[in-house]
Amino acid sequence: MIIAPSLLAANPGRLAAEAARATRAGADWLHVDIMDGHFVPNLTFGPAIVRAVRAATRLPLDVHLMCSRPEILLELFREAGASGLTVHVELGQRVAHLLWKIRALGARVGLAVNPPTPIAAARPFLKSIDLLLVMTVNPGFGGQEFIAETVPKIQQARAWRRELKLAYRIEVDGGINFQTVAECARAGADTFVSGTTLFQARSLRRALQRLRTLARRHAAEPDAARTGAAAGVLVST
């Protein structure tokens, strides 16, 4: 099980210190949301911030691009220290090329699916990815309520993985708390992004441990095989 605190919910005035705090607290990855003010109605971090965060932690940086033109950004974020790069399936015809480009940059290849988008949109790309991100809120802001209608998409992602004998991770992002983590784990998620629940907790370490224990307890299947393979890719930055 991978727990990835989302920096979007960290104190924006001291991101490097927050990254170090999450590392000390036992996070597996750090999730970094890149918003361009066009694909979503909000703006967040550029490559310079990712570089500063990179210098503050040894954890893999899981960079989620909510951007209309990732083609002009992938290389910049990879050079800044991204370990994984995730683009959205809603970009349509450009997706195959974007995934190829991420692979060529030597990063972990991620594909995200928004709540209104059918999971079938991701089906043609499953053989080309290392991680499928099932968005459990509409992207753009932290602190939103989990959309329960997305759970069958997690189940479908897991069924396809088994059928096709693939090893991509199944990540969930948005509204993940001590209740929804169990629901997602039962459905097949193995990688959990959580912002508000972790960074607003009195003890980040204890909140992380609690999320991890719940994810393990409710896991749909043992995680060992995938953890080795996927984590290996991410160690090199």
Residue ranges binding ligand DX5 (CB under 6 A): 6, 8-9, 31, 33, 64, 137, 139-144, 173-176, 193-197
Least Å from the CB of residue 233 to ligand DX5: 21
Q: Between 11 and 236, name the residue whose CB sits nearer to ligand DX5.
A: 11
Active site residue 36: no
Measured in degrees and rounded to the nearest 5, phi and psi for residue 158 equal -70, -40
Distance between CA atoms of 188 and 26, rounded to whole angstroms? 22
Query: Which stretch, 75-83, 173-181, 184-192, 212-220, contacts Zn ion (CB under 5 A)?
Result: 173-181
Active site residue 173: yes
Distance between CA atoms of 19 and 56, rounded to whole angstroms? 6
Among 155, 202, 204, 162, which Cα is nearest to 5's? Answer: 204
Find the residue with minimal CB distance to Zn ion.
Answer: 64
In this structure, is the dihedral angle defined by the CA atoms of residues 139, 177, 28 and 14, taken in order, positive or negative?
A: positive
Q: Which residues of 63-92 are buried (b: 16+ CB within 10 A; e: fewer)?
A: bbbbbbebeebbeebbebbbbbbbbbbbbe
Amino acid type, 204: L
Q: Which of residues 62-91 bind Zn ion (CB under 5 A)?
A: 64
Least Å from the CB of residue 131 to ligand DX5: 14
Q: Between 4 and 95, name the residue whose CB sits nearer to Zn ion.
A: 4
Q: Between 115 and 166, name the residue whose CB sits nearer to ligand DX5.
A: 115
**173 touches Zn ion by CB under 5 A:** yes
Q: Between 64 and 169, name the residue whose CB sits nearer to Zn ion.
A: 64
How much is the CA Rg of the chain, to the nearest whole Å? 16
* Binding partner selected for residue 107 from Zn ion, ligand DX5, none, CB under the kind-specific 5 to 8 Å limit: none
Return the active site residues: 33, 173
